[in-house]
């Protein structure tokens, strides 16, 4: 074991009365040894024995030969990013052989440098995902590597004090556990734990991966047994009455020989804990017996940190190192501090001891001690985020150097721990003198607002922006930018009309509307109207923005206006104008370098959004990827949750299904971290759509249901409409077309689906026709198909055309299968022409089915075999299975996956797709479904679907039989 916290097993008597708790520990370790990833949470009040139980877990794990790494959060350092994970992992990782870390990809190692100081200083990681998502994935992968030689027990104590980044990281790892035998054991106080920590633990408990242990107070008999060597029975009973059966309180009072204060049971504050007065008095008495120099070093250690280094404790105390070392010996002898497993690092006996020491130190002396610590860390070359904690405690009002340190520290962590960054921006603001330049104050407020919004604190972000507007200049680009930001937060809070009025008032204030500021405000107004499905109003605002931008002649604003006009023209089916302005925007955007385009990212957002409506999926994916990278590089964090799912759908339509799922999972994670319900609903809609195309109906229904639940009743936003349509599709596919049709009509706004913009209206009219046919409502289905055909004729767009032809084929199938086959064939050709291979495959299945109904057996077989082959390669498994069912009805048993060239070992493995074979080999490695899902970055539901297909193809009914089939194939080959 190598870790920061003392994890020596306590004396046996300390764990009296903990039989059930220790049995739960043993059960968790046994499950870990069977290859499971799981978690254990010890929840209880201060002193109840949480750390003792974790120490017992540590000792028992080491007896079994497991790897144990442990760390603890500290009360007075709760602002240090990822501190508890660094405490647990950093020293061990630093001591690893380089070859172990070389198993990790370079981008993962680079990302780990943001969490572990020993790996800091390398090149920054990159990729089209949210920074927090990348960090969480990197730590998960590190845990998997650490657990390869033997199972890993990761112990995280006192999580009620952990920083926001650590809590988010823990939640992410619990949501998607490592694909390795890793036990994450945590301890926390219930009254001080953050809502986010509770949410993470409750979600893990509901998923069946977390066991919760809640140790209670000891009985009088257990207390006598525990104190038998320290006190006689009468004194032990008196101590028990004062301590209430709390093990730490019992031990602390026993140190005084059982002497009690008159009001011993009455609570007193010790930090955030309510502790019996007798215990506080006992601690005070213990400290009072210390020599003055020894006590001063102990106070220096309380300021330096927990754990602490002797040199830093000495510097905080204002003592020389030799004297501090002598004092440390005395403190160790009195058991006020203890050794850890890391050389030259020590911890207090208990966090309450440290708190008592810190509170008892004179306030003015503490300020100077923090100042000395900050100076010592600066001399060592420590980064700003390591110094900021002490600077915040010690800085004087108006201290420019301290303000710069806090700003630098906040900037460094804002991407990954925005809540912590908001705290340090706030501290810098409090230090600013009244005479500070307005630009400096406004800059800090804007940065803090951005961090607060990323942390999901939208009301606080809004208030900060209001203050920035009041502090800022009365006119100019900065004021416009702040107002637009404030309106964006209004929209995040679903105050769309408030946002509109704010933007219109700001536009009216401008002396010159055809300025860059005016164009930006008008584009924001167009986006506001489009979100609320006022597509004509959005087009009108966009046209005005374009007119002003043309007069202005600056490429950035003109690109924004042209892209917005192109998108809104597509919304209202003016395809000629949409294509013209798309081409204009495309030329401008592609000609601008990233640094020039960064302030005008709306141009890229609306450009790739229009490409989703104009049959340009591959180009849209390329533009969306560029947009995400620029947003990440320039800290435009509010854009991530909306960008990533759009990128995912563009990839999906291009046939890149697995990449799409990865982007959409990242979008969901980013939206959950941000606490942004609109963005989460949007990401879930896109994930559900991708799951439908992959054939994972359970995931599609689950994601669609959550998405709809996040939108308000009667929500008339574009997000609300799309969420209802995708859930309706899932409901129809699951065998309830009547309810599916009803929800589609509600989401689309009626039989003509007016709430769905542009060519996608034809797509959802096709979905409506399918649902109506399933519900036996053929006339209504025919009307939906006819409307889709009218729209296709009006726009000439491929998306509308193949959707309309597919709808026509569905309607004609029962009465005129030859006409249905012809229409479906046209749909195939159109989908292929616009580069939508999955949609082409779906249309081809319908074509083959119609040909079979028309008696064209050979033609049907040829079409269905091609469909099955292509859909299999794309990962559209349910549609592939539908094609194979039709082939079996036509008498074909030797399906394409059963006749692939290659293996002839009789195992059936040659029938598996690459992904299915990958999963089968992970089954051989005894991976559970959640572990496989985590390793492949897929949902557990998707893994379950794949495994069902593996069972079906191999003709087996258990995972053991899958493993045997793989092993037979390996022996044969």
For residue 704, what pLDDT is reported? 94
Strand partners, 211: 40
277 to each of 261, 265, 429, how far by Cα in Å?
7, 6, 38
Pick the closest to residue 969 from 891, 911, 886 (CA basis). Answer: 911
Half-sphere exposure of 834 (CA within 13 A, CB side): 27
Q: Does an H or E element contain 532, and which? A: none
For residue 267, what pLDDT is reported? 63
For residue 238, what pLDDT is reported? 75
Q: How far apart are CA 90 and CA 95, in angstroms?
A: 9
DSSP for 297-349, please give it.
HHHHHHHH-SSB-HHHHHHHHT--HHHHHHHHHHHHHTTSEEE-SSTT-EEES
Strand partners, 186: 41, 156
580 close to 567: Cβ distance less than 8 angstroms: no
Q: How far apart are CA 52 and CA 12, in angstroms?
A: 10
Q: How far apart are CA 317 and CA 518, in angstroms?
A: 58
Chain-centre distance for alpha carbon 809: 42
Q: How far apart are CA 703 and CA 942, in angstroms?
A: 12
Q: How many other C-beta atoms can be found within 10 angstroms of the C-beta atom of residue 499? A: 24
Q: How far apart are CA 388 and CA 410, in angstroms?
A: 9
Helix, coil or strand: residue 23: helix
For residue 843, what pLDDT is reported? 97
Pick the closest to residue 477 from 531, 408, 544, 556 (CA basis). Answer: 556
For residue 390, what pLDDT is reported? 92
652 close to 660: Cβ distance less than 8 angstroms: yes
305 close to 87: Cβ distance less than 8 angstroms: no
For residue 826, what pLDDT is reported? 97
763 to each of 59, 689, 799, 814, 879, how far by Cα in Å?
61, 13, 7, 21, 18
Q: How far apart are CA 397 and CA 381, in angstroms?
A: 24
Q: How far apart are CA 149 and CA 41, in angstroms?
A: 25
Q: Does an H or E element contain 274, and which? A: strand 273-276
Helix, coil or strand: residue 554: coil
559 close to 589: Cβ distance less than 8 angstroms: yes
Q: How many other C-beta atoms can be found within 10 angstroms of the C-beta atom of residue 890? A: 15
For residue 11, what pLDDT is reported? 40
DSSP for 626-648, please give it.
HHHHHHHHTT-GGGHHHHHHHHH
Pick the closest to residue 21 from 206, 178, 222 (CA basis). Answer: 222
Helix, coil or strand: residue 70: strand
For 368-381, write each residue's pLDDT tens digit.
999 999 999 999 99
Bridge pairing between strands 273-276 and 267-270: antiparallel
For residue 901, what pLDDT is reported? 32
For residue 664, what pLDDT is reported? 87
Q: Does an H or E element contain 341, and which? A: none
Q: How far apart are CA 652 and CA 693, in angstroms?
A: 9
For residue 7, what pLDDT is reported? 42
Please enumerate in sequence order all residues whose Cβ is within 8 A of that of 909, keeping only pairs 6 or more positions apart, or say none. Answer: 903, 917, 920, 954, 965, 966, 969
Would you give the DSSP letter of residue 874? H
Low-confidence ranges of the chain (pLDDT < 50): 1-13, 896-906
Full-model pTM: 0.74
């Amino acid at each position: 074991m190598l870790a920061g916290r003392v994890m020596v097993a306590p004396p046996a008597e300390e764990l009296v009365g903990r039989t059930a708790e220790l049995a739960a520990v043993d059960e968790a370790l046994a499950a870990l040894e069977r290859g499971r990833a799981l978690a254990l949470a010890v929840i209880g009040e201060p002193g109840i024995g949480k750390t003792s139980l974790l120490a017992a877990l540590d000792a028992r794990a080491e007896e079994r030969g497991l790897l144990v790494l442990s760390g603890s959060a500290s009360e007075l350092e709760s602002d240090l990013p990822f501190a508890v994970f660094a405490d647990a992992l950093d020293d061990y990782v630093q001591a690893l052989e380089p070859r172990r870390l070389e198993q990790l990809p370079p981008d993962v190692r680079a990302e780990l440098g943001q969490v572990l100081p020993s790996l800091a200083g390398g090149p920054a990681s990159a990729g089209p995902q949210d920074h927090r998502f990348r960090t969480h994935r990197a730590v998960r992968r590190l845990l998997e590597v650490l657990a390869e030689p033997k199972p890993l027990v990761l112990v995280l104590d006192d999580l009620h004090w952990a920083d926001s980044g650590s809590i988010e990281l823990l939640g992410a790892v619990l949501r998607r556990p490592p694909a390795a035998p890793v036990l994450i054991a945590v301890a926390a106080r219930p009254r001080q734990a953050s809502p986010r920590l509770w949410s993470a633990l409750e979600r893990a408990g509901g998923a069946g991966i977390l066991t919760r242990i809640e140790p209670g107070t000891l009985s009088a008999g257990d207390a006598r047994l525990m104190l038998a060597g320290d006190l006689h029975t009468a004194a032990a009973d008196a101590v028990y009455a004062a301590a209430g059966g709390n093990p730490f309180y019992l031990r602390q009072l026993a140190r005084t020989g059982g002497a009690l204060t008159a009001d011993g049971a009455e609570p007193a504050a010790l930090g955030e804990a309510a502790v019996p007065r007798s215990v506080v008095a006992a601690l005070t008495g213990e400290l009072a017996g210390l020599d003055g120099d020894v006590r001063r070093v102990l106070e220096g250690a309380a300021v330096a940190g927990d754990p602490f280094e002797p040199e830093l404790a000495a510097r905080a105390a204002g003592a020389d190192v030799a004297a501090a070392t002598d004092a440390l010996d005395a403190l160790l002898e009195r058991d006020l501090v203890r050794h850890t497993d890391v050389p030259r690092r020590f911890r207090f006996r208990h966090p309450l001891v440290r708190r008592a020491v810190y509170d008892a130190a004179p306030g003015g002396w503490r300020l100077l001690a923090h100042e000395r610590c900050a100076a010592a860390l600066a001399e060592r070359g420590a980064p700003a985020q390591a110094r900021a904690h002490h600077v915040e405690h010690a800085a004087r009002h108006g201290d420019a150097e301290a303000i710069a340190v806090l700003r630098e520290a906040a900037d460094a962590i804002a991407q990954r721990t925005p809540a912590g960054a908001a705290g340090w921006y706030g501290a810098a603001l409090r230090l600013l003198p009244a005479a500070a330049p307005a630009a400096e104050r406004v800059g800090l407020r804007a940065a803090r607002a951005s961090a607060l919004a990323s942390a999901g604190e939208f009301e606080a972000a809004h208030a900060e922006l209001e203050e920035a507007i009041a502090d800022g200049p009365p006119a100019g680009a900065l004021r416009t930018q702040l107002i637009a930001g404030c309106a964006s937060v209004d929209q995040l809070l679903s105050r769309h009309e408030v946002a509109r009025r704010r933007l219109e008032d700001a536009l009216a204030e401008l002396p010159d509307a055809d300025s860059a500021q005016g164009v930006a405000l008008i584009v924001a107004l167009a986006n506001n109207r489009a979100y609320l499905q006022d597509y004509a109003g959005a087009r009108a605002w966009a046209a005005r923005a374009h007119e002003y931008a043309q007069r202005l002649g600056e490429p950035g604003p003109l690109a924004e206006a042209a892209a917005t006009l192109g998108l809104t023209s597509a919304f209202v089916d003016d395809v000629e104008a949409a294509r013209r302005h798309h081409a204009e925007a495309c030329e401008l955007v592609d000609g601008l370098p990233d640094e020039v385009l960064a302030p005008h990212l709306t141009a890229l957002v609306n450009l790739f959004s229009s490409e989703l409506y104009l049959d340009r999926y591959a180009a849209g994916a390329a533009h969306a990827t560029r947009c995400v990278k620029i947003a990440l590089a320039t800290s435009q964090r509010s854009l991530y949750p909306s960008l990533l799912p759009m990128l995912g759908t563009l990839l999906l339509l291009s046939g890149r299904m697995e990449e799409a799922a990865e982007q959409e999972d990242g979008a969901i994670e980013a939206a959950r971290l941000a606490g942004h319900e609109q963005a989460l609903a949007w990401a879930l809609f896109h994930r559900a759509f991708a799951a439908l195309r992959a054939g994972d109906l359970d995931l599609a229904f689950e994601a669609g249901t959550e998405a709809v639940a996040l939108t308000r009743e009667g929500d008339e936003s574009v997000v609300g409409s799309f969420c209802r349509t995708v859930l309706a599709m899932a409901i129809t596919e699951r065998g309830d077309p009547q309810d599916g049709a009803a929800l589609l009509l509600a989401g689309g706004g009626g039989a003509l689906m007016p709430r769905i913009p542009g060519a996608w209206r034809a797509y959802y009219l096709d979905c409506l026709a399918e649902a109506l046919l399933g519900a036996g409502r053929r006339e209504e289905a025919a009307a939906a198909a006819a409307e889709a055909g009218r729209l296709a004729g009006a726009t000439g767009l491929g998306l509308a055309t193949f959707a309309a032809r597919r709808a026509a084929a569905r309607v004609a199938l029962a009465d005129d299968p030859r006409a249905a086959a012809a229409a479906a064939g046209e749909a195939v050709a159109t989908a292929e022409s616009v580069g939508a291979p999955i949609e082409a495959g779906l249309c081809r299945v319908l074509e083959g089915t119609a040909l079979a109904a028309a008696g064209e057996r050979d033609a049907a077989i040829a079409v269905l075999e091609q469909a099955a082959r292509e859909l299999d390669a794309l990962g559209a498994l349910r549609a592939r299975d539908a094609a194979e069912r039709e082939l079996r009805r036509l008498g074909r048993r030797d399906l394409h996956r059963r006749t692939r060239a290659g293996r002839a070992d009789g195992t059936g493995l040659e029938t598996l797709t690459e992904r299915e074979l990958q999963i089968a080999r992970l089954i051989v490695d005894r991976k559970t479904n959640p572990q496989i899902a985590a390793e492949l970055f897929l949902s557990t539901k998707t893994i379950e679907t794949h495994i069902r297909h593996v069972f079906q193809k191999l003709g087996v009914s258990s995972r053991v039989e899958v493993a045997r089939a793989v092993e037979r194939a390996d022996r044969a080959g």
